[in-house]
Amino acid sequence: MKVLSALAWRNLWRSKRRTWITIGSVVFAVMLSLLLESMDRGSQEAMVRNVVQYSSGYLQVQDSLYFDEPGMDHSLYLEPELEQVLGSAPGVAYTVPRLEAYALAAGESRTRVAYTQGIDVEAEHRFNGIKDRLREGEFFSGRDAEVVLGSGLAQTLQVGIGDTLVLLGQGYQGMTAAGKFHVSGILHHPVPDLNEVVVYLPLEQAQYLYSAYELMSYLMVVPEYTTRHNQVARELSTLSSDAGLSVYTWEELQPELVRTVAFDRAGTLVFLLILYAVIAFGIFGTVLTMTLEREKEFGVLISIGLHRWKLGAVIFMETILINFTGVLIGLALALPIILYFYHNPIPLGEEFGNLMAEYGMEAMLPFSMDPQLFWQQGIIIFCISMVVVLYPLLRVLKLNVLDAARK
């Protein structure tokens, strides 16, 4: 076997041009599949991230009745000790409280149903960078009775910075919720539907407005690693089960988003299968050409006594070396390209802005740096290349020595 390995290595570099052409086909296949998959996975991650960060969060701790009957009467009260325990649980980075309710919002001459959120501004900004979305004014100056509106809602109500907004709704246990608020800021929300209805208040002011003192609709839990949120959910369920609380993941809270992502992945899978078929035929064409060029060589080796299975083993070793080298070079070349576009997404222009906005995304084409992509695509292309090697092996086993020697 050692002799066969040495023979395979020498054969590769006896014809450098042929070897590099074959390696080049594998490199191109790896780079193409990796770039396309990274681009598609990046779009999916951005869609999930935008929707999850500005709506449900990755994990929620709720009152056990809130999921089936969301409303102010099923708000959550957490003992400070329990809230501290949940915030320091393994895998938890920090927590974000929210108090949500619908109310009638009125400007000077127009009204509209608004979606109000009482938030801890610093915790909220740490989670989703909400302050960076501000377009006018400031995010709560510290004075009493302040709100920040989505730009769509501000335009509908025809209110601006310094104007007064009136909120009227129903508070905790049927209490009347009414108040006048100073508009301190206007932001552009990345989720279009929320941009048309959202009103942000400081958490304490929202609790006062709705007579929900020390209450919250739910406590968002931000995991240290978002890909491990299911493990954190199981840990939190153990800690909070005795207190009559329930823990939900974003997949349970956003079933429509899960279906959208699944549908998108199904379409991507079909496209990738077509791409893999094209790649397989491309690599096969290269291997076929190289095999036909070497048929006389194969015939001579068999005629002087080299067993066919040993010749097949040499070809197999050559293919492994070529494919492994091609995959490594392809990964090495694709990594800096993906890394660049990961930090510098491709702008799609204004014409795609409205289409992307429907999915809660900006008009940018992001890329993913998920480590799974690299080893997954590398293995797939390697396996495709190894299947293609069956052709020269079969060719050697069925080779007519006399016909090959005459070529």
Q: What are the tens digits of pLDDT across the range 107-124?
A: 888 999 999 999 999 999
Q: Is 69 helix (H, G, I), strand (E, B) or coil?
A: coil
What is d(CA 369, CA 338) in angstroms, rounded to the nearest whole number?
7
For tokens 């969301």, name the residue.
Answer: 70
pLDDT at residue 293 is higher than 60: yes
Which helix H or strand E contains 86, and what residues bound it? Answer: helix 80-87
pLDDT at 147: 93
* Segments making up each domain of the chain, as ranges: 2-52+257-406, 58-250
In 367-406, the DSSP E strands lie at none
Residue 407 has pLDDT above 60, yes or no: no
Contact 152, 184 (CB under 8 A): no
Q: In whole angstroms, what is the distance from residue 286 CA to residue 356 CA?
A: 40
Contact 59, 250 (CB under 8 A): yes
Q: What's the mean pLDDT in 242-265?
A: 84
Count CA within 13 A, CB hemisphere, residue 133: 25
User: Is the CB of residue 238 less than 8 Å from the CB of residue 153?
Assistant: no
Q: What is the pTM of this model?
A: 0.72
Report the relative pairing of strands 111-119 and 198-202 from DSSP bridges.
parallel
Q: What is the pLDDT of residue 143?
A: 75
- Cα separation, 88 vs 127, in Å, equals 17
Cβ–Cβ under 8 Å, residues 331 and 30:
yes
